Every structure is written in structure tokens, then in C-alpha cells.
Amino acid sequence: MQIGPHQIDNPVWLAPMAGVTDRPVRVLCRSLGAGMAISEMVHSDVSLWGSQKSDRRLDIENEPGPISVQIAGYDPAMMANAARANEERGADIIDINLGCPAKKVLKKAAGSALMRDEALVAEIFRQVVKSVDIPVTVKMRTGWDHLSKNGPRIAKMAQDLGLQAVTMHGRTRCDMYQGDAEYDTIRQTRDAIQIPLIANGDITSTDKARQVLDATGADAVMIGRGTQGDPWLPGIIAAELNQQVRTHPSIDEQIQVMADLIREIQLFYGERTGVKMARKHMQWFLKRFANGAQAWSKLHPLVDPDDQYQQFKELIDGGGLRDGTERAGQTAD
């Protein structure tokens, strides 16, 4: 598909997940075959930038392009300013967040709350598109609740106002992440727009990706929770959609890749925060194995970054991880 000047041939993308898809994770997933990786959402109030947290979220140094930065907010002028600032920092694409269901975001009338005010959404679209020379896209839900699935209408408005792609999660805000994603509304969105459409929600295997692409007519799929502990999943699905055979590497190779990620996370966040951030990735990874809980019980208490890294690496050969619940491109978002 074409997004502005960017030709994107790989139809399997990594979803933006706050607190998860930081720069080390995005770089790793791209290196393992994900077609795109959208940044964690960044607050559009640039006066709040400069904190350690926002600096990390804004960090796109040495990422493979095209680089898409997601902005969240509710004020059109503020969001336009944030878009312009991210363009100056090297972003290739600006993505507008209309999908986050988190309460702390909704309190600011941002994220999926915006879908209740179509006039405000239209003004945000206008001002952001006008403020930058790079493509603007949007990620949204199907609607606020099941009585107001206005996603197709907002997607058409996005197209008419100059946005160049739409990603839709197949749940309303009120669904949060509960129940099964539904794809009928994404199909209706496909019928309403001609710009690229990316389908998101419960895509955790190649079979499911094919099913969703067929059901929705989308140009690509976006994978979120299924990648937690499994950064290989998008690349495996992308290869299999292209009729290529690809599987997870050996368990020892996987452990080495995850150990390298642990070290990158430690360096990215600093020792104290890095150890905490690395824990969740270790736990997600170990959940994929029948006896992973035993290994996790020994790793969880560690507070020294070198101990954390070395003891995780010791799972190679001597760790005895066994296939059990491992998702080999067949189950698991």
C-alpha cells in the first residue's frame, strides 16, 4: 500500500501500546519482520515534553523508516503543534489517536472519547493535516458503544479531510479489550473509503490474519497483545501470508534475542527503571513455555541489571524451557 510517498509492502504491523512498544521493542519487531511499528502515543501538549517519560516516548533515534509517531489530545491547535514538532524531530508519518480506552486519557476527552464529538474530530483532522508536510493517519475504534458505531463515518471524514490511512480496532470503547473483536464494522469502513485500511483486534495467527483480511477487505493487519513475549509473531505471519515458510527459531536463539532486548531496555531506561520494564517482557516470554513459571519465580526478584541479564541468559541450554503453550504462529492479541 502507499501512504504518501511511502510504499509499504508488508501487511503485518505492530500496534502502538503505551508502556510496551518503546523504541527497543519497535526496533526489534521491525528487525524480525514487522512491516511497520507505530510509536507509543505522545501527549500533544508540548509544554509537558521534557520529562523523562515524554523524552523516551519521543525517542525515534535510529529507527528504520518510515517512522510513524502517534499523538493524543483533544485541542486541535495543540495537536497541530505537536504534529509539526514531531515532523521536525524526524517523524515520517503522524498518527492521530482516537482509540485509546484508558480512563486517564478519557478524562482529558482524548483517545476514543473524541469519537463522541465528530465536529471536534473534523477540526483536529483539518488542523493537523494543514500543519505538516508528511502523511497523517488515524487509529480508532468502531465507536464509543454498540449504539453509536460511527467508525465508518469518521473514517470517510478522515479521507475527505486529507488523511491517508485508517486503522480500526474491532471493538467499541465500552468493550475495552473484552469479548471477541467484530469485523463487520471494519468491512463497512472498507466500503466507505478508498485510502488504506488496517484491521486490528484479536489477530494472533496466520489463519486469523487471513480470515480478517478476507472478512474486512483491509490492506493490512495490526497486531498488539499477541506480540507480547513473541516479537517474532508479526514477521512469521507476514512471511506465511507471502507463501513463505517461517517458524520460531530454536528456544536458545529466542532466549538470546530476548536477553539482548533486556539489555537494550536497561540501557534505554537506566538501571532501576530498566530492570522493572524488562520484567514484563521476561514474564510474557516465559508464559509461552510449559515450565516458564518456574524460571520466572527465580528471575522476578532480581534488582541488579547484570544479574537480571546473566541469569536470563543462563536459560540457554541449562534452562530447560519446554514447548507447551508456545504460540507458533497459530494462536494468541
Could you write out the DSSP letters of every residue in 133-170? SS-EEEEEES-SSTT---HHHHHHHHHHTT---EEEES
Cell of 216: 474486512
CA 140, 59, 44, 4 torsion-angle sign: negative
Question: One-letter amino acid identity for 156?
Answer: K
CB 26 within 8 A of CB 36: no
Question: One-letter amino acid identity for 220?
Answer: A
CA 22, 23, 24, 26 torsion-angle sign: positive
Catalytic residue among 15, 100, 110, 163: 100
Annotated active-site residue 100? The verdict is yes
Cell of 10: 508488508
Cis peptide before 301 (omega within 30 of 0): no
Could you write out the DSSP letters of every residue in 174-204? GGTT-S----HHHHHHHHH--S-EEEESS--
**Checking phi first, is residue 223 left (phi over 0); if not, alpha (psi -120 to 50) or beta?**
beta
Would you name the residues annotated as active-site residues? 100
